[in-house]
């Protein structure tokens, strides 16, 4: 006589399912945390490569790369009077194993003229550089094509050069790592290692930001909010006014990586601490001023490359004065221990 087989009772099945669900609940966050840790490490490595490229450039030209060009009249739109408006990202491709991209770019004609992409450089403008993208921010950023009816995509960047603190609080002169060709006295101070008297280990070189969401205007680190002006009475007032801003201005942050514009291939600023609001008076082509800061999809802060080539993860709760001090190259501030 064959023994009868005994199946699971309903209670046993329910207990087994509950155990499996509990294990998934325990393991899934750990798996997600491990994946994010790997993405954050890759992001950090991308920035270290940018740091190495900046120092290779410095070894060749005895200065860090310019961010673009602003002429004596303040024009920065590349109308022919302004030569070499190419972003720092474009100038670094020669040192980031992207020599073909660098050689294909025509530095004499620029990128966008009167709101239309310059035909000679559309191939480069639509080329995505993997080392300029943070894997923790998978959002494509823009689904548009280049301005002017071209059937090639806008490409994006997650990393930006440090423009310093709000220059209007300090006589109108830029004070970070970014500097511009063209001879304008407020933008044209060449930045070399010797001019970084605050110390390269205490001065930011590049930061990361979250890309826009192709005009969706959903609140978050992707969005740039509108503000009335940059003269507000000092760093604390600048921060307060931007943080209270609520009207969307622009949701394409990171687009047009070859342009020198702030929020595109140009600078971020040490006005807002990590993951606070980003603000600007204008999002027009040629705008190089803003209160756009660093942001990330990494929990709790964002990666920052320093001029000595090191990368540190800076927490969102960093003191504002310490964050301001990290943005300037020669103001003589004392950096708080939280940033060291």
pTM, rounded to two decimals: 0.90
End-to-end, the C-alpha distance of the chain in Å comes to 79
- Are 288 and 202 in contact by the 8 Å Cβ rule? The answer is no
Run of H or E residues at 88 = helix 88-92
132 confidence band (pLDDT: 50, 70, 90): very high
As a whole number of angstroms, the distance between CA 61 and CA 56 comes to 9
What backbone phi and psi angles, to 5 degrees, belong to 112? Answer: -130, 130
Q: In what order do the strands lie in the sheet with 248-250?
A: 248-250, 224-226, 278-280
The sign of the dihedral angle between the CA atoms of 57, 61, 64, 70 is negative
Structure tokens at 88: 């720092």
What backbone phi and psi angles, to 5 degrees, belong to 335? Answer: -80, 135
As a whole number of angstroms, the distance between CA 290 and CA 87 comes to 16
What is the share, in percent, of the chain residues with pLDDT greater than 70? 94
Average pLDDT rounded to a whole number, residues 95-119: 91
SS3 category, 46: helix
Alpha-carbon torsion, ordered 205, 208, 211, 212, to 10 deg: -70
Q: CB 183: neighbour CB atoms within 10 A?
A: 11
As a whole number of angstroms, the distance between CA 277 and CA 290 comes to 12
Run of H or E residues at 117 = strand 116-117
Structure tokens at 85: 């408006």
The sign of the dihedral angle between the CA atoms of 283, 76, 178, 258 is positive
Instruction: Note the pLDDT of residue 14.
Output: 82
83 confidence band (pLDDT: 50, 70, 90): low
With vertex at residue 299, the alpha carbon angle to CA 297 and CA 305, rounded to the nearest 5 degrees, is 70
Span 174-189, pLDDT tens digits:
999 999 998 899 998 9
- Are 234 and 242 in contact by the 8 Å Cβ rule? The answer is no
- Token pair 């961010």 is found at 67
Instruction: Note the pLDDT of residue 44.
Output: 98
22 confidence band (pLDDT: 50, 70, 90): confident
Contacts of 306 (CB under 8 A, 6+ apart): 51, 200, 201, 202, 203, 204, 205, 312
Q: CB 331: neighbour CB atoms within 10 A?
A: 15
* pLDDT at residue 28 greater than cutoff 80: no
235-243 and 320-327 helices, crossing angle to 10°: 110
What b-and-e string marks burial along 7-31, b requiring 16 or more CB atoms within 10 Å of the CB? eeeeeeeeeeeeeeeeeeeeeeeee
In the chain, where the domains are located: 33-339
Q: CB 55: neighbour CB atoms within 10 A?
A: 17
As a whole number of angstroms, the distance between CA 152 and CA 172 comes to 38
Span 275-286, pLDDT tens digits:
999 999 999 998
Residue spans of alpha helices (H) in 95-234: 99-104, 122-125
């Amino acid at each position: 006589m064959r023994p009868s087989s005994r199946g699971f009772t309903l209670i046993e099945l329910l207990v087994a399912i509950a155990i499996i669900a509990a294990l998934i609940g325990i393991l899934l966050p750990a798996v997600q945390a491990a994946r994010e840790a790997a993405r954050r490490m890759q992001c950090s490595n991308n920035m270290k490569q940018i740091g190495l490229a900046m120092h290779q450039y410095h070894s060749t030209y005895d200065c860090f790369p310019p961010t673009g060009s602003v002429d004596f009249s303040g024009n920065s739109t590349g109308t022919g009077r302004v030569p070499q408006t190419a972003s720092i990202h474009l100038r670094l491709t020669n040192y980031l194993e992207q020599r073909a991209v660098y050689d294909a770019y025509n530095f004499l004609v620029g990128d966008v003229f009167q709101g239309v992409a310059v035909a000679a450089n559309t191939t480069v403008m639509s080329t995505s550089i993997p080392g300029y993208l943070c894997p923790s921010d998978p959002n494509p950023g823009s689904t548009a094509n280049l301005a002017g009816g071209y059937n090639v995509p806008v490409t994006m960047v997650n990393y930006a050069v440090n423009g310093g603190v709000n220059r209007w609080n300090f006589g109108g002169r830029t004070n970070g790592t970014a500097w511009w060709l063209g001879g304008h006295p407020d933008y044209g101070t060449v930045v070399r290692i010797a001019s970084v008297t605050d110390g390269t280990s205490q001065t930011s070189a590049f930061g990361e930001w979250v890309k826009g969401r192709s005009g969706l205007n959903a609140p978050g680190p992707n969005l740039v909010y509108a503000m009335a002006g940059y003269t507000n009475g000092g760093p604390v007032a600048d921060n307060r006014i931007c943080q209270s801003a609520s009207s969307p201005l622009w949701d394409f942050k990171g687009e047009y990586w070859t342009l020198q514009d702030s929020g595109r291939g140009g600078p971020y600023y040490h006005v807002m601490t990590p993951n606070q609001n980003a603000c600007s008076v204008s999002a027009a082509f040629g705008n190089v001023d803003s209160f756009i800061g660093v942001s990330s999809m990494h929990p709790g802060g964002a990666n920052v490359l320093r001029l000595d080539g090191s990368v540190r993860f800076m927490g969102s709760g960093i003191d504002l004065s310490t964050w301001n001090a990290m943005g300037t190259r020669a103001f003589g501030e004392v950096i708080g221990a939280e940033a060291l």
